[in-house]
């Protein structure tokens, strides 16, 4: 929008709902939206999309995101694991997130961490994250498994690649055998 009589465009409304506008621009958008029915209608469409995306829980999360999910009242069951562990884990139907706390990682000198989730029986790659979030102090990567993941094969191997400043890389594997309780 460049003038008072022009409508807001989709991109500026996405920035508005994402909280990416400068305070003065946000105020200008607020004022315009209160007085322009066409822009308010478009803004409502953008809001549905941005708010839906904001509520999505990514498979890898930070400790801060975990705290927010817990504060929202989600039921979280923790599964702490160490490198080399092989564990069958039941995902109860009343649980929102089965949190695999992949620990035992030396992250003191890590420049970044990459993550791969594979199917153990076929070696098929389900997911790759080149810049995975990690908790340097705790030496962990947090995997937020959710009920809709029941569609994936139950035999998975999480691979955490810790990349060091000297160019070195350390690989840790965690074998997670999921068993989902059927919904009632």
By DSSP bridging, strand 97-102 and strand 141-146 are: antiparallel
Q: Is the pTM of this model over 0.85?
A: no
Q: In CATH, what number does 60-180 get?
A: 2.60.40
| Helix (H) or strand (E) segment spanning residue 145 | strand 141-146
The tens digit of pLDDT for each residue in 113-144 reads 999 999 999 999 999 999 999 999 999 999 99
The domain spans of the chain are: 10-55, 60-180
Joined together, the tokens standing for residue 19 give 């909280």
* pLDDT for the residue numbered 184: 63
The tens digit of pLDDT for each residue in 66-110 reads 999 999 999 999 999 999 999 999 999 999 999 999 999 999 999
State how far the Cα of 80 lies from the Cα of 7, in Å rounded to an integer: 52
């Amino acid at each position: 929008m460049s003038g008072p009589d022009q409508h807001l465009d989709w991109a500026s409304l996405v920035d508005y709902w994402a909280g990416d506008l400068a305070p003065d621009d946000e105020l200008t958008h607020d004022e315009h939206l209160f007085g322009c029915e066409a822009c308010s209608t478009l803004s409502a469409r953008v809001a549905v999309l941005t708010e839906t995306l904001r509520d999505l829980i990514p498979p890898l999360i930070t400790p801060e995101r975990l705290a927010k999910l817990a504060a929202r009242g989600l039921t979280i069951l923790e599964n702490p694991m160490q490198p080399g562990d092989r564990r069958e884990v039941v995902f109860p139907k009343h649980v929102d997130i089965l949190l695999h706390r992949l620990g035992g990682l030396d992250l003191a000198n890590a420049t970044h961490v990459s993550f791969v989730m594979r199917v153990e029986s076929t070696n098929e790659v389900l997911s790759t994250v080149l810049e995975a979030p990690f908790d340097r102090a705790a030496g962990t990567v947090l995997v937020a498994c959710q009920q809709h993941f029941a569609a994936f094969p139950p035999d998975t191997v999480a691979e955490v690649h810790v990349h060091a400043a000297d160019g070195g890389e350390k690989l840790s594997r965690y074998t997670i055998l999921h068993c989902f309780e059927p919904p009632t």
